Amino acid sequence: MYTQAQSVQSSSKEITLTFKLSEKGKPSYTVFYKNNPVILESFLGIKLKDGSDLASNFTLTDSKTATFNETWQPVLGEQANIINHYNELTLFLKQLVTGKKMNIVFRVFDEGVAFRYDFPQQENLNYFIISDEISEFNLAGNHKVFWMPGDFDSNEYIYNETLFSDINTEKIDLNNGIGVKSISGKYVVQSPLMMKSASNLYLNIFEAAVVNYPVMHLNADVTNFKLTSQLVPNAIGDKAYLQTPCHSPWRTIMVSDDARDIVSSKMILNLNEPSKIDDTSWIKPMKYVGIWWEMHVGKATWDYAGSQNAQNTTAQDLKPSGKHGATTENTKKYIDFAAKNGFDGVLVEGWNTGWEDWFGNWKEEVFDFVTPYPDFNIGEVTAYANEKGVKMIMHHETSGSVANYERHLDRAFDHMKKFSYPAVKTGYVGKIIPRGEFHDGQTMVNHFNFVVKRAADYKLMVNSHESSRPTGFSRTYPNYIAAEAARGNEFSAWSSGNPPMHETILPFTRLLGGPMDYTPGIFEIKMSHYDGAKKEQVHTTLAKQLALYVTMYSPLQMAADLPENYEKYPDAFQFIKDVAADWDESKYLEAEPGDYLTIVRKAKGTENWFLGAITDENARKSVIALDFLPKGKKFKAVIYEDAKDADWQKNPKAYKIRTIEVNSKSKINLSLAAGGGTAISFSLINK
Amino acid sequence: MYTQAQSVQSSSKEITLTFKLSEKGKPSYTVFYKNNPVILESFLGIKLKDGSDLASNFTLTDSKTATFNETWQPVLGEQANIINHYNELTLFLKQLVTGKKMNIVFRVFDEGVAFRYDFPQQENLNYFIISDEISEFNLAGNHKVFWMPGDFDSNEYIYNETLFSDINTEKIDLNNGIGVKSISGKYVVQSPLMMKSASNLYLNIFEAAVVNYPVMHLNADVTNFKLTSQLVPNAIGDKAYLQTPCHSPWRTIMVSDDARDIVSSKMILNLNEPSKIDDTSWIKPMKYVGIWWEMHVGKATWDYAGSQNAQNTTAQDLKPSGKHGATTENTKKYIDFAAKNGFDGVLVEGWNTGWEDWFGNWKEEVFDFVTPYPDFNIGEVTAYANEKGVKMIMHHETSGSVANYERHLDRAFDHMKKFSYPAVKTGYVGKIIPRGEFHDGQTMVNHFNFVVKRAADYKLMVNSHESSRPTGFSRTYPNYIAAEAARGNEFSAWSSGNPPMHETILPFTRLLGGPMDYTPGIFEIKMSHYDGAKKEQVHTTLAKQLALYVTMYSPLQMAADLPENYEKYPDAFQFIKDVAADWDESKYLEAEPGDYLTIVRKAKGTENWFLGAITDENARKSVIALDFLPKGKKFKAVIYEDAKDADWQKNPKAYKIRTIEVNSKSKINLSLAAGGGTAISFSLINK
């Protein structure tokens, strides 16, 4: 027996959301896609630390529907215009006994549903502490799931592709190169969670606009195929400290029978607040190179003095090991390379003191973010970069000591402005200080957002590594140009690495929340190149590395390999030099999570198009119609593809390049090797 | 059966320290005073989080003795020269099985013993986490003790005077006005702990140089009269995170048969590092008035807009309640008063936005430390103060949100420099954020020290309220001019207050660690002056309030009462105008903890002396010989004393003032009322 049922549909009429209140006043919702239930009745609510709840004994006092339809322009993005179109249903709930009020707001888009809890200003609820959120996602079957374990401190896992009933975090290989792990339970997984039903429906559960709230992981009931929100706790087990008026982040459920609707969705961005930065003229896309991969391959070190105990030694007294990467001289080499090849920026890691003894010991004061090593002359480097027209990218590794970073943040940003660095890459490798906090808790979510906001005060762009994964906050603060917050390319240099399917899943998961600094472009794929004893390799062909510049959207893109490696393959390198990082249009041509992805994009303000096609460990052929090209115009297509005998394991560097003339009626046959890809640049041929 | 006993004596030969190592390799010590044991055999050691300990299985590998004798000059102080004279014994210990090394260092002064644990740099011990320190203080009898409960968050208690066997924190009245309490156990008390034995020996247990370590409370074994160190934990129960080489703070035991030796001791300061500030010219004593007491008596408010919910309201939109104290106009009145009466500074509390909703809710972002209320024009105030030759004292209430304060600290100090404020009063009322931390844990000890260090970067002086109690760090950072860190005078305005004996104990406890901003000088003693319904009063006579300027040493002294109250008693007020805050010499004439105290001091760089004598709830008479005055010179003595019928309860404002001529052979009869005191100024009569 239910009362007070309410419904709202997407503008396409394909998705229907039904809200009900049970006899005991428990709110629940159901989601239908093309008239079939895809989320069965699922209860909603909040538990408070004082022992009470906002999950039952509610009465529906009112409800309201609304329609919203606007088009907005992101500062940087996959497309120049984004449509934000949804129907909204708000339920006004009140507990008659306690007098407490809570609203549940649903928004139904063409590709999915979002809801959140609103806590209006009221006499009976001011400050409150959330001990648990109990939002359910009751699935309609034993779907295929791409999951990683619910880890409060790391999202740098590969994805496990199993049936829902086979989710089990105790079965994963923990020898995976992740430095700090805090796996929270046998059946807890992370969101975004991508799924596919037996009837070929694609489902995705995620969240948007995580602000002043912890990250939501998901508790899987593997028998009943039900997910329940699992908020990340703080040092003393509390989840969130709130004051009315306030609201939770949006919980999102995307559903479609076409995987392309999910991977191309802008729902997460749409659920975030518009930009709070008025003048965004200083926010620019950047392609960059840097002193970074040479440390991952073992050619150089971040530290200046090896393993010497630097505890009581000043930088001037340390004896250089001779392997330090971030020298003035080496930096100038990268600046020269960037200038010659048209890159916007140069990142230098290991430029500042502290790296002799920085990791793994929960040490509070490691870096001061302003003191360079003796062999890195920041003034000289800056002058040289200015002269060459190249921007320097700052690096702030915090070693997880957020308390220390916040104490130094104004000084660190002042230092960047003094030396004209427009962007910073932050890092959070290590257990968090304040001790007891996790990377994904409310404290850290607030920290990551705080850094972005404070950077905006200084007109600085932020690329955060080891942060909680973005949930669209880059709409609100467009200077948050990229984040890592997933397993990046570097893991393949020194660990079991990323399997070929990894990059076919990320766009369905991590990338929904914002751009990723994945650092593609590795040409010397096997680590035996550097050290004959090494077995590690990037699980890719060379051509696939090119395709990633299109399939992994980011306005900040690194050409991650060493300059000397690019100089050996100038024809392939040409694609990286040409490809854009900011776009007018994006079209998702083919998509299947875990299998393949083909995207084509039009570079912002130009007539040039770039296509990227990737596959997993299976070779793949397909035919692409070029009907995205403007009619009646001729284009030169340069096709960078796997050679016939290419194979990510046996022959990863085998590629070929061909140039053909095409128009909107043309088709191109793609042939991707196992672990391979194809990249194509289309440039208008002037009549 | 003990082996390897070692001894060291004070230069006076009155104190002997004996170290032993038990058969099981457990270190212990014993303290003798005039050949009688005052600390019976007590074990020493550290427990580590990994389950191991540094408390047993030690072998003594070496030992070393040394003698140190120097005289140093504090920047500000009770005396121009301080003698630091001790004999030192270092025991080099090693656990043969683990290979771990630890040294115990003892220093024996004429008034007591200090020891600490040194953890040298070594292969087998680098980073470590202390889960417990087990330093014992095994007392020789059931002494009288002046104790307050071991509270991780507050030291603002009155002292309980009981036998050691009657220590019981469950018996104290918790309706005491303290906002945040975290009492840690039935038998845990705070240090400094002042005691008196049945044979009239005075003992004091405390610590010095608490740096990067939590505060030490003491666990009392009330049956065996033994105290054991109880370190304050962090959010997850750990005590201290250390890296070798490092050491614990000094644990101190003072002992004498003359109470004056304890109360005048400079041992705590001596155990701290010399000043790390080279140019100290900007560190100056300050007498000040301020907009503060009028809030405590209910005449004005810190907030601008009463209880309006300020959550979503900007300062400009708030409606003024009309009771706001920190207005430009009121501040000018205080500046005029300060200028007219020779005060150095004016404190203004409640000048900045946030006070409508600041306390009791563990709220992270309350104050930004730079935004004034609409009715406080900081530029205008600064200009006016400059014109009148008065310095403004900044106020930074953090509401316990240390994370927020640290984020804003550079901006807050920049703001002070911009408006020429030379000193800041900080406040920490509320539960600490990072949540789970306590006021007395390692994190907060580091914070308080950090603020002082960063203030030194800006040449700013710090007066911290609700901090952990000082342990002599003002020697190392002399810009740490004062702290509260004990129950101050304001409690008497709105709570059960401070009993008359309170100020006779503080110099034996809290003041050993550094100056206190006690805020004396209350002339309108009964709160019925402001509101006929009020029963609260300061537990004092007016004359005692004057004496406190001498007995409570601080280079930062407030004349806490309202200007209009001082204007009613200009003759008594003259003493506050005359008294110094920095001294060449101090002589402790009479002292009995909990009963009375008489001190005389020579004002720095002058021939003027000031005497303060106070008593507890009992009236008291004594005769003071003026042999501290230079021989053959005449002085005018102005004696501010209790009138015959004065009594702190019945007639607290009854005082009389007499002026006599004296020399070094004179004697003065002191007659102190119940809860009373006498203040005397001696000025040289020029021949």
* Res B2: pLDDT: 43
The reply to whether B435 touches chain A by the CB within 8 Å rule is yes
* Res A2: pLDDT: 43
* C-beta atoms of B243 and A311 within 8 A: yes
CB nearest to A410's CB, from B234, B245, B411: B411
* C-beta atoms of A127 and B243 within 8 A: no
The reply to whether B659 touches chain A by the CB within 8 Å rule is no
* C-beta atoms of A435 and B234 within 8 A: yes
The reply to whether B359 touches chain A by the CB within 8 Å rule is no
The reply to whether A359 touches chain B by the CB within 8 Å rule is no
CA A594 → CA A584, A649, A675, B106, distances in Å?
Answer: 27, 18, 12, 67
Residues of A in contact with B241 (CB under 8 A): 362-364, 435
Give the list of residues 6+ apart from residue A474 with CB closer than 8 angstroms, or none. A269, A480, A481, A514, A515
Tell me the C-alpha distance between A511 and A528, whole Å. Answer: 31
Residues of A in contact with B244 (CB under 8 A): 311
CA nearest to A156, candidates A404, A440, A360, A356: A440
ipTM given for this complex:
0.95
Q: Which chain A residue lies closest to B414 (C-alpha atoms)? A: A410
Using DSSP, state whether B404 is helix, strand or coil. helix
- For tokens 């934990």, name the residue: B233
Give the list of residues 6+ apart from residue B63 with CB closer than 8 angstroms, or none. B6, B89, B90, B91, B92
CA B366 → CA A262, B359, B361, B372, distances in Å?
Answer: 41, 9, 11, 13
Low-confidence ranges of chain A (pLDDT < 50): 1-2
Q: What is the mean pLDDT of residues B255-283?
A: 98
CA nearest to A213, candidates A150, A129, A135: A129
The alpha-carbon gap from A235 to the nearest alpha carbon of chain B, in Å, equals: 6
* Res A306: pLDDT: 85
The reply to whether A494 touches chain B by the CB within 8 Å rule is no
* Res A311: pLDDT: 54
Residues of A in contact with B127 (CB under 8 A): 361-363
The reply to whether B457 touches chain A by the CB within 8 Å rule is no
The reply to whether A435 touches chain B by the CB within 8 Å rule is yes
Tell me the C-alpha distance between B313 and B655, whole Å. Answer: 50
Residues of A in contact with B409 (CB under 8 A): 407
Judged against a pLDDT cut of 90, whether residue B3 lies above it is answered with no
Catalytic residues of B: 490
Number of CB atoms found within 10 A of residue A276's CB: 11
* Res B306: pLDDT: 85
Tell me the C-alpha distance between A372 and B119, whole Å. Answer: 30
The alpha-carbon gap from A412 to the nearest alpha carbon of chain B, in Å, equals: 11
CB nearest to B311's CB, from A243, A407, A411: A243
**Residue spans of alpha helices (H) in A420-558:** 442-457, 473-476, 491-494, 502-505, 542-551
Largest CA distance in chain A: 78
The alpha-carbon gap from B491 to the nearest alpha carbon of chain A, in Å, equals: 28
Pairing of strands A556-558, A286-291: parallel
Q: Which chain B residue lies closest to A413 (C-alpha atoms)? A: B410
* C-beta atoms of B234 and A363 within 8 A: no
Q: How far apart are the first and last CA of chain B?
A: 71
Residues of B in contact with A235 (CB under 8 A): 235-236, 434-436
Torsion of CA B177, B183, B187, B192, to 10 degrees: -70
| Encoded tokens for A289 | 């190179």
Q: At B684, phi and psi to the nearest 5? A: -65, 130
Tell me which residues of chain A, numbers 362 to 381, contact chain B at a CB-CB cutoff of 8 Å.
Answer: 362-364
The sheet that has A583-592: what strands, in order across it? A583-592, A596-603, A609-615, A677-684, A635-642, A655-662
Residues of A in contact with B443 (CB under 8 A): 403, 434-435
Tell me which residues of chain B, numbers 191 to 250, contact chain A at a CB-CB cutoff of 8 Å.
Answer: 234-236, 238, 241, 243-245
CB nearest to A245's CB, from B235, B312, B403: B312
Judged against a pLDDT cut of 60, whether residue B485 lies above it is answered with yes
Tell me the C-alpha distance between A171 and A186, whole Å. Answer: 9
| Encoded tokens for B44 | 């020493």
Number of CB pairs, chain A paired with chain B, less than 8 A apart: 81
The reply to whether A314 touches chain B by the CB within 8 Å rule is no
Judged against a pLDDT cut of 90, whether residue B382 lies above it is answered with yes
Give the list of residues 6+ apart from residue B51 with CB closer than 8 angstroms, or none. none
What does the radius of gyration of chain A's CA atoms come to, in whole angstroms? 25
Positions of E strands within B278-399 = 286-291, 345-348, 391-397
Average pLDDT along chain B: 96
Rounded (5°) CA angle B128-B130-B131: 135
* C-beta atoms of B234 and A436 within 8 A: yes
What is the pTM assigned to this prediction? 0.96
**Which neighbouring-strand residues pair with B38?**
none
| Encoded tokens for A198 | 């037996």
> Catalytic pick from A133, A356, A466, A490?
A490
- Which pLDDT band holds residue B313 (cuts at 50, 70, 90)? low
Residues of A in contact with B402 (CB under 8 A): none
Residues of B in contact with A450 (CB under 8 A): 407
A349: enclosing H helix or E strand:
none
* C-beta atoms of B403 and A434 within 8 A: yes
* Res A1: pLDDT: 35
